[in-house]
Amino acid sequence: MLYFGDFDPSGAEMLPSMKETLVKEMKTNDIEFKRVALTKQDIIDYNLPHNPKAVKESDTRCKKFVKKFGEYAVELDALPPNILEQKIKTAIESEIDIDLFNSQIDIEKQEVESLTSIKSKVVELLKDQLN
């Protein structure tokens, strides 16, 4: 499971919480969970604006988050769309065999062409029989 979320106390706890829920309620022990974005490194690499005041002390997860990451709070949408798109593409492609995927696409195209040809022949046959 690839996760993209805000870099704040709630966003940091979202993935572990989802994992816990899926494991407990759906018995999904064989799923790998990865946080792809937003990370502290993203904030540094892309010089994203962060506001220490956005880390709400009233949030019960605040102390744990600040201790681990500092007073950073950044929304995922602060990441430029082209960078987010590239991160999504890279994350997905790193999880699949792209050559196998592309060969399956080619097979599907061939099958569609074959079925289209068969359909045309059947339609012509039916027309001939109805006339």
- Percent of the residues in the chain that have a pLDDT greater than 70, as a whole number: 100
Q: 62-102 pLDDT, tens per residue?
A: 888 888 888 778 999 999 999 999 999 999 999 999 899 99
Compare 27 and 111 and report the one with higher pLDDT: 111
Question: Taking the mean position of all CA atoms in its chain, how far away is CA 91?
Answer: 7
**107 or 58, greater pLDDT:** 107
Which of 118, 120, 7, 3 has the alpha carbon at shortest distance from 61? 7
Mean predicted confidence (pLDDT) in 3-26: 91
What pLDDT does 27 receive?
A: 87
- What is the rounded CA–CA span in Å between residue 17 and residue 3? 12
Give the per-residue pLDDT at 35: 95
Residue 27 has φ and ψ, to the nearest 5°, of 55, 45
pTM, to two decimals: 0.71
From residue 75, how far is each of 31, 48, 79, 105 by CA, in Å? Answer: 26, 9, 8, 36
127 alpha carbon, distance to own chain's centre: 48
Would you place residue 130 in the very low, low, confident or very high pLDDT band (cuts 50, 70, 90)?
confident
Per-residue pLDDT for 20 more than 80?
yes
CB–CB of 8/65 below 8 Å?
Answer: yes
103: confidence class by pLDDT, cuts 50, 70, 90: very high
Q: What is the pLDDT of residue 124?
A: 92
Average pLDDT taken over every residue of the chain: 90
